Every structure is written in C-alpha cells, then in structure tokens.
Amino acid sequence: MHLTETEQAEIAAARDHSVSTRRATVPALEAMLFTPVPVLDHGFVRVIDYMGDDAAVVQAARVSYGRGTRKVSEDEGLIRYLMRHRHSTPFEMCEIKFHVKLPIFVARQWIRHRTANVNEYSARYSVMDREFYIPAPKHLAAQSVNNRQGRGDVLEGDEAADVLGLLREDADRNYTHYEYMLNEDRVDPDRRGLARELARMNLTLNTYTQWYWKTDLHNLFHFLSLRADRHAQYEIRAYAEAMLAMVRAWVPASCRAFEDYRLGAATFSATMLSVLRQMLAGEAVTQADSGLSKREWAEMMDTVGR
Amino acid sequence: MHLTETEQAEIAAARDHSVSTRRATVPALEAMLFTPVPVLDHGFVRVIDYMGDDAAVVQAARVSYGRGTRKVSEDEGLIRYLMRHRHSTPFEMCEIKFHVKLPIFVARQWIRHRTANVNEYSARYSVMDREFYIPAPKHLAAQSVNNRQGRGDVLEGDEAADVLGLLREDADRNYTHYEYMLNEDRVDPDRRGLARELARMNLTLNTYTQWYWKTDLHNLFHFLSLRADRHAQYEIRAYAEAMLAMVRAWVPASCRAFEDYRLGAATFSATMLSVLRQMLAGEAVTQADSGLSKREWAEMMDTVGR
Amino acid sequence: MHLTETEQAEIAAARDHSVSTRRATVPALEAMLFTPVPVLDHGFVRVIDYMGDDAAVVQAARVSYGRGTRKVSEDEGLIRYLMRHRHSTPFEMCEIKFHVKLPIFVARQWIRHRTANVNEYSARYSVMDREFYIPAPKHLAAQSVNNRQGRGDVLEGDEAADVLGLLREDADRNYTHYEYMLNEDRVDPDRRGLARELARMNLTLNTYTQWYWKTDLHNLFHFLSLRADRHAQYEIRAYAEAMLAMVRAWVPASCRAFEDYRLGAATFSATMLSVLRQMLAGEAVTQADSGLSKREWAEMMDTVGR
Amino acid sequence: MHLTETEQAEIAAARDHSVSTRRATVPALEAMLFTPVPVLDHGFVRVIDYMGDDAAVVQAARVSYGRGTRKVSEDEGLIRYLMRHRHSTPFEMCEIKFHVKLPIFVARQWIRHRTANVNEYSARYSVMDREFYIPAPKHLAAQSVNNRQGRGDVLEGDEAADVLGLLREDADRNYTHYEYMLNEDRVDPDRRGLARELARMNLTLNTYTQWYWKTDLHNLFHFLSLRADRHAQYEIRAYAEAMLAMVRAWVPASCRAFEDYRLGAATFSATMLSVLRQMLAGEAVTQADSGLSKREWAEMMDTVGR
C-alpha cells in the first residue's frame, strides 16, 4: 500500500480533529477511523464514518425514546433473539462508510451487492494510478480439477515465475500505452491525446480502482456471510476479513450473534433433517437411501464431523 | 404532543450526554438532536442520528483521502453541479435517522417510499396508545369538485361540528373496545383477552403509530420533493416541512441546491419547450395550436406567470 | 369473496382471450390466470401475469442463447445447486404479478417487504368498499401467555360472541359514518362532503383494500419463507399459502428446491453444531453445559426430534 | 457481431416456437424477440422476455379486474397524466429482460443502476471469448479541452492509426497470454494452468462480457433518460438507443409520454423560472444580474433557443 505524502497528511489531519457530539459513539471504532488497513499488495480498506452502535439496534427494535437503562446483558439477549429469528430491520439502523482501494476484477464481484451506496473514482474524469494486483506466490493457484470455479494447489517453479512475469509485464505495458495515448498536459505537443473515457479501456482488470462504499449493518452482514466464506475468491475474502475485524470493534454483540448464527452456522435441508433424526435415533443411514446426492451427503457429513 | 415523564427524562438524558468524536459533525443539527418537533395534534418528528455533512458529499464525489482544503465556495459550486446534473450517488453518502409519531393513514402513504429502513412500533407485540388525529378546523376540507384526489374549501358550521364529533367518537369508542377485548393484565379475570395481533384490527386509521425511519440524503430529497410539494396531502406535508427545516440545518449547501433545482423547479416537456421558444420569439401561441391539452396549457401558463 | 357482475364479466373476458406468443409459457399457471382464489372471509389472490419458468432460471444462470437442449433432470440438478449455495440472481429472472384483496392490517405487514412493485387502490381518489375482515370462530385466538407476539387457545362462548359482535358493529358503524361524511353525489344536498383523503381515517384496520403486487421469484421465496412460516400471523399466512400453491404450478423444480432447502430447512448456529457433533459422537450433553439458552436448547431438541 | 452456428441455431429454434397464452402480448415486440440487434463492433442487445403492455400500466393504476373497455385514447391520456405527475409505480408493472453483449468498461457504467436483476457470464467459471471493442475511426475522440469528462474532436492521421494499433495489439496479446496461462485441457501437459478466477485479471477492459439484465419499465426509463442522453458516453448510449427502439415497439404510448416529458424535456431551477418570467414579460435580463452562473446561463439560453 502506497500513499503519497499529501494523502498521509490528509489522513493525519482528519485523525487529529476531534469535536463533541451527542450521537452514539464507539471508542474502539473511533480509534480505527480513517487509518487504511492494507489488503492485498496495494489495496486498503478504511472506515470513513459510521452511525449507531449495538444499543442503536436495541433502541430501534424497541422504538424507544432514549438509550435505555437496561443491562448490557439484556441488550445482548435481544440482539441474539433478533439475529436468530431473522429480524433484519433493527440491524439496518446502523450504517458504515468505507474507502476501499481494490483491483477492478474484485470491484466487479463486489458491486453485485446492490443494496449499498457507491462512489467510484472516475476514469472518465481522472487518470488512474499505475498500480496492479500481482498475487503473492502462495496465492498463485492452479485451476481446481473438481470444481469449475475453484482453486487447486499453488503453482510452483517455472510455471509460477512465468505467470507472474506475464501478469506484471502485460499490466505494465498496457498502462504505459494508456499514459501514452492520454498524452496528459500534451507532453508530446504533436498529439492531441485520446479521451480519458476511451483510453481506460486499454487497462487490465487487475488495475486498482477505489471507491467510497456505504451500507447498513444488515446488508454488511449479508455481504460478509458470502464474502468472508471459505468458498469466496481469496482476493475479495481478504477485504471481507479486514472489514469483519472492524465490525467486531464497532458492534461487538451484534457481530458475536452474526458469527454464531450466520457465519459459523449451517443450514440443513428438510431431507438432511430427516437423515439427522434417524442418525440421532441410532439408525444406520447410508447415502444411497438418504435421498441426498453424493455431494450433499459429503457436505453434510463434513458439517456434522462424521 | 404528549410525552410521559419517563419519555421526557429519557430525551433529556440523551441530550445531556456528550462525547468526543473524529466524525463529521454539524453543530446546528446537534442542537436539534433528540428533541421532538410537534407535527399535527399528537405527532412529532425528531432526529436520532446522522452521518455526514455537506463536505462529505464533496469528499465522496472526489473519492478523496481527507476532508479537503478547498474553499467552502468551491464545495458549494460542486454540490450545485452535482444536483443540476442529477449525480445522485454523492448525496447518498449522508444518512439520517428519524423517530416519527404519525397517524396510521399517513404512515401508509409514507411507507410507499421503499428506499429507507424502518422499524415500526409493533401492535402484535405491544398495546397502542390512545391517541388519534383529529384535524384542526382549518384543515377540515371538503372534497374538491374538480380534482378527484384533492381538497376543496373548508367545511364550516354544523357540518364541521358533525364531522369532528363523529371522528372523535368513533376513534374513541373503537379504542375503548380494543382495550376491552385485550383485557390486559386480566383486569376482568373472567375473560382471557383477545390476541393483540387481532384486537388491533378494531382501531381506526387515524390512530397514531410510531417508527424509526432512516434514509440517505438523496432519497430523503426525493421524499421531500414529493411530500413537501403543494399537491401532497396536508397531513404528510406537515411532516415533510418539519423535516425540511432539519435538513436545512444539517446540510445547508445541499439543501439550497435542492430547493433551487428540485423543489422550486419546473420541468417543461418537449412540447412545452417548443411553445416556450415560440413565445420568447414573440410569436402568438394559443392552446388550440400548441399541442398541449387544456390542463397542461393552464399548468404551464401558471408556471411562467402568464 | 364477493365479486360484482361486472368484475366477474371482466375476469371471464380476460380468461377467454388467448393469443400466440414466443415467450416461455407455463400451461399449469395459464390455467389459473386471473381466477381469484378466496382467502379469509372477503379476500382473494389471483395471478395477473408472469415472466419465465424453471428453464428461464437455468438459462439466466448459464447466460445462454437459447432454451437449452439438456435433460430436465440436469436442469433440476442445477436449480438445486443454485438454491443450496444461495445463488439468488438466477431466481430473480422470473417475475410474477398478483392482484390481492386483503385487510389493511395485513397489508401493513406485507408492505414491509420492500423489494416489490405495488399499486394500491387509492382511498384519496376512490371510495372504499364496505367489507371488513371478521375472524372465523376457530381463528379467534386469545393472547398467548408465553409469547408476547403469539396466539394462545381459541376464545369460546360469551367472550367469543362478545368480541365478534364488537368487531362487526364497530367496523360497520365506522363505515356508515365514513359514507355519511363523504356524502358522495351530494345525496344530502345541504352538506358538501368531507374530502375522501380525510374521511378514510374513520375506517377500521380490518377494512379490505386491494393492490397489484409484483415481485421476482427470489424475493417471493423470501416473502414465503417468512410468511408461510408457522410463526407468521395466521391472516398473512393464509395468503402466503395460497400463493405457494400457485408457485408450485408455475416453477415446480424451483419450488421443490425452495421447500427442501429453505421452507422445511433449519439453521444450526456454530454452538448448536458443536452440540450436534457431541450428540452424534454418543456423548451426553445437557442444556446447562451446552452453551445454549434454555429456549435455544428447546428449539434445537424440537428440530432434531429429541 | 459474431454468433457461432450453435448460437444461431438456438436463437432460430427459440423464434420458431410459439404457444398460446392468456397474458398481455405485444405483436410488435414478439416480432423482435430473441433476435440480436448489433451494437458497437461485436456487441448486441436482444429481448428475451417481457411482461405487460401499455394497458397493463393503466390496469395497475386503476387496480382493475380486467383489461378494461375504455378507449385507447383514454388510456393514453391516463398514461400521460401519470408520467407528467411522476407516478412511477404503474410503470413498474411492466418488466423486460435483455441479453446484452458489451465491453467490460461499459458494463461497469451500466451496473451502477442498481434497481435491476443481473446474471453475468462468469469468468471464474468459464473462459471468456477473444473479442474486444475497438472504436470505429469516427468515434476515436480526443480528450475535450473544456470538459474533463467529455470528448473533443476525432483523432486523425498518424495519431489515430497509432492508437488503434495499440488498442488492438494490447488486447490481443493479453488475451493470448490469458489463454496461455489458463492452459485449458492441458494443451501443454507440463503446465497445470492458472485458476480461471486469477487468469482473467490479465484481460483488458475492452474485452466483451455478456449478461442477462432485467428491469421494470420505470427503472428502464430512468436508465434511458441518463444513458440515451447526449452527455452519456457514446459507447453506452449506443446500447441505450437500441433499447429505446425496442421500448417504442413494446409500449408505444408510455414511450411517447417518456420522450415528451422526460427525454426531450428540460428542468428550470427556481432561479431560471424567475429569469424566464422576466423575459416573457419583455424585461431585459443579463447573465450578470440573473443569479445564474455563466455556465447555467449558457445552458438555459441554449434550451430556450436564444
């Protein structure tokens, strides 16, 4: 992660500035505010602003007049109840805003989550930075043989070196040509320069972009349940995990409930429940007579530790 | 607007509590926080929380690292540009949360705006208050003769007294029967009490409910452009106007741009623009040869002050 | 369910009309089109239009050029895979439109599902029908003692008669006064008539309203998973069940996957999964040392049939 | 636009298949169904399915039981009224589904419209086609000097040839390396092949992708009002214009209302309205004393033909 001196100074200035507020405030998240947390080789995620805390979830659920005088343990009990019974609206009452720097191909997965507000750096209006994502060797995975959208083992030796070389050279050359076509400030006075909105098309999908992304806690949990999951592509999961750490600081009780009831949970289909009841009753059940496909059976046995 | 002593104490306690924050903070809105502003006879609207300010709109539009060092006038210029050219996403970067007490028939209009987060007081779970909206005499309008969904002149004399009497008696009687059917705390030990989720159906549509309602600035402007409009039903417009005053305190530059380019603006259709060009060229145009319907012609002449 | 002769004739005319189309068409749903299915005492739900079928889910998931030549069993396999792994977007490619007549208090629960398109009959513009929901005796439930938002046993004898009488009389009287205040067509020439948008506030919450409601299959499944659930209030569940029968006719494979993986499924939290693994390993586990609350423990034992 | 023989056969088969339906059907759109309309050099847009027609807008606005017996002219009058007064929900009752092939940088602009359903071809799961957008010479615009996000004149001569050569070579080389890294079917048995989800990052932003995109008529109009506008980037405008032609065939009355009241319309701010009233009253107004900025003044004079 590289920041210019100006950017560092702007962040430092924002962190230095404190004022008084009557709003719900979370010291643990205040401590993190504005500071970029590095993700991947040149990316980051940082919290720009937030609204609400655990008590705000409770306050909205009760439509109450004040912050309440109940014990923290009662609030946590209610939060767990709300999460368990899929009451989503109280969690929508907290909001968070991130500034994220991320490769374009990750941004394209991310944007599929539509219930969020986004302002992306505009390559129609501005010139992109010369920064590309190149996987660390341990993340340079081969195509999985079994799973069409999965990764297999890590590439090694010549093949790895070969791939890394190509990724680097192609991104770099294309960026150089991008800059050349732009001819910003008419460095070459004999050329007029291609429109920015056209020149950008020469960039590769690992070029870094950045955006402001704002969402509510319920939709953030949904995002994290899909993107912090082990089936998510590593590159987006790296962002999800950095954000999950921030959410733990922000709304610890809600996040505990989320990790217990959603992230670490498993759903059993009606057919699986029937198998489970038989197993608990001591009956022998086999995949063949279970009504489950081989893959489902394997997934279920994996989940119940058999 | 009636608040119990407990409610008043909760609000006072919330207002008394101040802490330090690094977040964007707006003193003029902090001064209003939590205090209910009366609307209609028993309703109110109060700000519970907010995120962002005018500078946050600018910061998101620029995807910048800090709060910026530009002049306030440059920021206002950008805000006006964004509003004029319908760039909605920067305004989505500000968020506000209200607590509103409002008659059910108003809530039913309001909820049609779907891009918001809502937690309503639950009549399945809790008992509703004995509070109904009864129009002030000056708002007791007759049905408009020309406009099927509009109001005409105000009812007077016996008819007014008659109507007010019926509204009061019916709401009151139905509430009394609601309470009777509920038989809360088994006041009458010989009856079991009807389920709350059923008993509520006896209430009238002017019964007050309350909710937490949270939305972003872009969608709030959309709400206000429809509900602070003179064609909106008076009862919801009263809320919109109270909220507009809060928005002016919160994001003054954005609100000025909104009032200029949206709330006080008028849209001319392609046909109207053609009429307008003829008029400005000094040509005589009549409704008959304008291509506009009589109603459109009248609306347009009204807008241009002819 | 009462329909006027005109309404019946309009429905019959719509059903009589057939034309040729190249679009995905489902004969089993065509057979149901436009016919109202009665729900509660005066309500109904009917399908007005639909887009797509099971094959359309598959076609979108594959972003394919045609309807495909694969076997139906392969399509069902893919549909089950998509449902199991929470791939929601392919199910969003089917759309359905309903016309629903329902009590206002049910409409208020229903509208909380925001990802849908709604056109409701306007009581600002038109006069409401004299129709109210009165529960059948077997649904006249007492308030649950254990569950603040649940129902207990059915009221009987005098208390039941008493409640039904009050509900009927209050709704009826309030409607009579509504009509009186409206004074439509100036039946009484000496009164001007209260504006419709005001008079409606005298109506009770069991008054029937109606709307066109349109949503995609993914969001419909979400609606059904919450509203066809046994914890949903009976009155909205009655609609959900009528709609579920229509969905079974429309997209049978998707609906089977939904009923297996969602409606009939159960989610186990991380803590519950740990308990489950102990139980399957033959270890004795008690609520006290499970990490689960008493209520969670009871819910889990109920689910696994212990 | 290149289609394989299989794709052509699939489209032909879909077009050959006709069945009977009771649903609202539009012959003019049926005639277009499934046929790809070429856009840019290798892209296309084609209609896959639709729900509703002009009468469905009217039917929903009236919450009526049948298709209605009113005259077409009355329906058009209502549609114009709804559009003029920003009644959006009746237009949400029509839905359309497109299959679009488009360059990735266009897809990234398009996806900012969040109120739509999308299934994109997955480069995690499948291999992308070797197809890139290369602008036609007449669209190879220089950067605008006045407008940071606009285009100036067209590049010519050597500079044009130079740019086109770079765009072609870079896209082509990067694709060749993409294929090489993938090593699909282990063409080279000594290499394992990079995971598809990683290899894709080497592709350029002018690579074509494709998706199914489904939205309702109201949101489609909003999309078209922004993307068929002359300020939109040419490459996305080309798609918007192809789609607008389809919408004209589908819902002619709604589309006429849209083109009159939205696409061809202009909005005057409160300040502009005041200027306009002065001008119509024959008063001399200058930019300096108008309250408008120079740019606003120029835009307004341009609109009114002065």
Best mutation target, A49, A70, A211, to test chain B (most B CBs within 10 A): A49
Domains of chain C: 5-133+206-263 (3.30.1360.170), 270-304 (no CATH)
Residue of D nearest to B271 (CA): D260
The overall average pLDDT reported for chain A is: 94
Residues 6+ apart with CB under 8 A from A204: A132, A170, A171, A174, A175, D174, D201, D202, D203, D204, D205
Tell me, letter by letter, the H, E, C secondary structure of C153-210: EECCHHHHHHHHHHHHHHHHHHHHHHHHHHCHHHCCCCCCCECHHHHHHHCECCEEEE
Is residue B227 annotated as a catalytic residue, yes or no? yes
Please determine, for residue C94, whether its predicted confidence score (pLDDT) is greater than 90. Answer: yes
Please determine, for residue C105, whether its predicted confidence score (pLDDT) is greater than 70. Answer: yes
Is C143–B196 a contact, with Cβ atoms under 8 angstroms apart? yes
What stretch of H or E contains D101? strand D95-103
CA distance to partner chain A, nearest, from residue D38 (Å):
20
As annotated, the active-site residues of D are: 227
Contact residues on chain A for B49, CB-CB shorter than 8 A:
23-24, 51-52, 56
Cα–Cα separations (whole angstroms), residue D11 to C166, D18, D34: 63, 13, 6
CA distance to partner chain C, nearest, from residue A279 (Å):
7
Query: Strand, helix or coil at C37?
Result: strand
The overall average pLDDT reported for chain D is: 94
C-alpha to C-alpha distance for B170 and B176, rounded to whole angstroms: 10
Is C270–A265 a contact, with Cβ atoms under 8 angstroms apart? yes
Is D56–C65 a contact, with Cβ atoms under 8 angstroms apart? no
Residue identified by tokens 């694709």 is: D175
How high is the pLDDT of residue B165?
A: 97
Please determine, for residue C74, whether its predicted confidence score (pLDDT) is greater than 90. Answer: no
Residue of C nearest to D92 (CA): C117
C-alpha to C-alpha distance for A147 and A141, rounded to whole angstroms: 13
Q: What's the rounded mean pLDDT across residues A168-172?
A: 98
Q: What's the rounded mean pLDDT across residues D289-294?
A: 93
Question: Residue A266 is which amino acid?
Answer: A
Look up the pTM and report it: 0.96
Neighbours of B218 (CB within 10 A): 22
What stretch of H or E contains A252? helix A252-258
What stretch of H or E contains C74? helix C72-84
Q: What's the rounded mean pLDDT across residues C136-150?
A: 87
Residues 6+ apart with CB under 8 A from B6: A65
Model confidence at B142, pLDDT cuts 50, 70, 90, reads very high
Query: Strand, helix or coil at B110?
Result: helix
Whether the Cβ atoms of residue D131 and residue C253 lie closer than 8 Å to each other? no
Q: pLDDT tens-digit profile of D146-189?
A: 777 788 899 999 999 999 999 999 999 999 999 999 999 999 99
Tokens, residue D232 = 């939109």
Model confidence at C69, pLDDT cuts 50, 70, 90, reads low
Q: pLDDT tens-digit profile of B29-78?
A: 999 999 999 999 999 999 999 999 999 999 999 998 887 667 778 899 99
Q: pLDDT tens-digit profile of A29-81?
A: 999 999 999 999 999 999 999 999 999 999 999 998 887 667 778 899 999 99
Please determine, for residue B181, whether its predicted confidence score (pLDDT) is greater than 70. Answer: yes
Model confidence at D69, pLDDT cuts 50, 70, 90, reads low
How high is the pLDDT of residue C305?
A: 86
Closest-CA residue to C92 (of B284, D114, A45): D114
Contact residues on chain A for C303, CB-CB shorter than 8 A:
273
C-alpha to C-alpha distance for C296 and C303, rounded to whole angstroms: 10
Distance from the first to the final alpha carbon of chain A: 43
Neighbours of D289 (CB within 10 A): 10
Residues 6+ apart with CB under 8 A from B180: C166
C-alpha to C-alpha distance for A122 and A211, rounded to whole angstroms: 9
Model confidence at D197, pLDDT cuts 50, 70, 90, reads very high
Whether the Cβ atoms of residue D183 and residue D190 lie closer than 8 Å to each other? no
Please determine, for residue B3, whether its predicted confidence score (pLDDT) is greater than 90. Answer: yes
C-alpha to C-alpha distance for C186 and B159, rounded to whole angstroms: 13
The overall average pLDDT reported for chain C is: 94
Q: What is the DSSP track for D142-160?
A: EEPSS-TTSEEEEP-HHHH
Neighbours of B25 (CB within 10 A): 18
| Cα-to-chain-centroid distance, residue D281 | 41
Q: pLDDT tens-digit profile of C214-256?
A: 999 999 999 999 999 988 999 999 999 999 999 999 999 999 9
CA distance to partner chain C, nearest, from residue B55 (Å):
31
C-alpha to C-alpha distance for A177 and A202, rounded to whole angstroms: 8
ipTM: 0.95
Please determine, for residue D96, whether its predicted confidence score (pLDDT) is greater than 80. Answer: yes
Query: Helix B157-182 to helix C157-182 angle, to the nearest 10 degrees?
Result: 160
Whether the Cβ atoms of residue B37 and residue B244 lie closer than 8 Å to each other? no
Closest-CA residue to B219 (of B118, B100, B292): B118
Contact residues on chain B for D89, CB-CB shorter than 8 A:
112
Neighbours of D114 (CB within 10 A): 16
Model confidence at B1, pLDDT cuts 50, 70, 90, reads confident
Q: What's the rounded mean pLDDT across residues D86-105?
A: 97
Determine which one of A46, A196, A200, A227 is catalytic: A227
Is B265–D267 a contact, with Cβ atoms under 8 angstroms apart? yes
Determine which one of C227, C230, C248, C295 is catalytic: C227
Residue of A nearest to D202 (CA): A204
Q: pLDDT tens-digit profile of A68-99?
A: 667 778 899 999 999 999 999 999 999 999 99
Tokens, residue C290 = 């499970």
Model confidence at A258, pLDDT cuts 50, 70, 90, reads very high
C-alpha to C-alpha distance for B212 and A51, rounded to whole angstroms: 14
How high is the pLDDT of residue C247?
A: 98
Best mutation target, D111, D151, D166, D208, to test chain A (most A CBs within 10 A): D166
| The dihedral sign for the CA sequence A228, A229, A232, A235 | positive
Contact residues on chain D for C66, CB-CB shorter than 8 A:
7, 9-11, 13-14
Q: What's the rounded mean pLDDT across residues A184-194?
A: 93
How high is the pLDDT of residue A66?
A: 81
Is A266–C273 a contact, with Cβ atoms under 8 angstroms apart? yes
Residue of D nearest to C116 (CA): D92
DSSP-derived letter for residue B207 is: B
Of B86, B89, B265, the CB nearest to D270: B265
Strands B266-268 and D266-268: antiparallel
Neighbours of A277 (CB within 10 A): 15
C-alpha to C-alpha distance for D34 and B100, rounded to whole angstroms: 50
- C vs D: CB pairs below 8 A: 154
Please determine, for residue C18, whether its predicted confidence score (pLDDT) is greater than 90. Answer: yes
